[in-house]
A = this chain, B = another copy of it.
């Protein structure tokens, strides 16, 4: 049964450049789950959508061809990692991230903020931005909201993220409040940089950096060489809601970020070690203040049940390293929970990882063979489990969309969550 859409659900929104961005297709009646189509410069994304994580310009263990065969519609790239290696001058030399990595579908890049806070050494946060030493060779660099925009313009991502501060868990209320306010001011600067640079490209493609003089003393050679950045006209810019685990701050942050009018909205600072109930409440606190006609992205999560719970709470887009990271540890996802294929119980097991799965692993290989590959540290083992896990996450989104469209999502979610057992620890490193 196809649901009738309420008038506001059928709204089609437009980006700052006047293009269609989000087309809402269906809305679940028993939850906030919805189906939509998000249009980007490199193609359309059906939401709810899972974005495989290509941290360093490669979804770990997987080729672009395999991603296409898995029907991945969008991948994520980590600005921080790419900024450190190979460096932006190299990616610019190759004509942007799409060409460098040979992926012609949509790419979302984060702002780099999360990794600066989680990976780099000796970081110093000021109102201007963040000075840090990278985790690879310790080189000093500086990222401001404007530089984060310029970097992502150079990468040529389809969706770029505003620079935010991702606070740890637990966090004092006062710090969380001040940080969320600074994140809003940074978001405004990202928006302003973008408006300025979309309106006033110079003839040779050079763009001004508002605070170039202020940062010149610490900005890296990579950043300094970005004077011929790629067009930003067709990039979508998402703002990020922060506020930690405090309901009031999440509401205030959402209202302030939405006030700035972005192409989409992300909820950041979740899945950073807080209990699952806190994570759900953080999203529930912000969601009512996000416009229905814009995409919503819950950053950096989660398990399969968590994704369905997030969809039920009105979230559209997800990225998570679990399917690729756990695969490298021999762990496979199934509808009834995870399997650790290192376990001796699978040594003589002839079935595939999951019956009726059509992924390249399940079409050709037994659990017993994959276990052998994992135990002997053969690369093919992690490759096969990675393909299975990515297909599992992508297929879960396909199922969610189908169930929303036929008005049965809520029951699907409840049944799936009840049947799903996490057999092995699945902590994100």
Contacts and interface: CB of A to CB of B under 8 A. Distances in A.
Interface in A133-150: none
Interface stretch (A19-27, A123-131, A369-377, A388-396): A369-377
Contact of A93 (B58, B64, B348, B373): B348
A94 interface: yes
Chain A interface residue number, banded: 35 or more
B63 A102 contact: no
Contact of A380 (B58, B94, B348, B366): B58
Interface in A329-384: 347-348, 350, 360, 364-366, 368-369, 371-373, 375-376, 378-384
Contact of A64 (B347, B364, B376, B378): B364
B372 A85 contact: yes
A372 B57 CA distance: 9
Given A348-B90, A369-B101, A379 B60 contact: yes
A381 to B, nearest CB: 8
A168 interface: no
Interface string A90-131: 100110000011100000000000000000000000000000
A170 interface: no
A54 B381 CA distance: 13
Given A102-B365, A364-B102, A372 B86 contact: yes
Interface in A64-78: 64-65
A57 to B, nearest CB: 6
A56 interface: yes
Contacts of A347: 86, 90
B378 A379 contact: no
A373 B85 contact: no
Contact of A90 (B368, B373, B383): B368
Given A56-B372, A102-B365, 6 more contacts: A57-B369, A57-B372, A62-B380, A85-B372, A100-B372, A379-B379
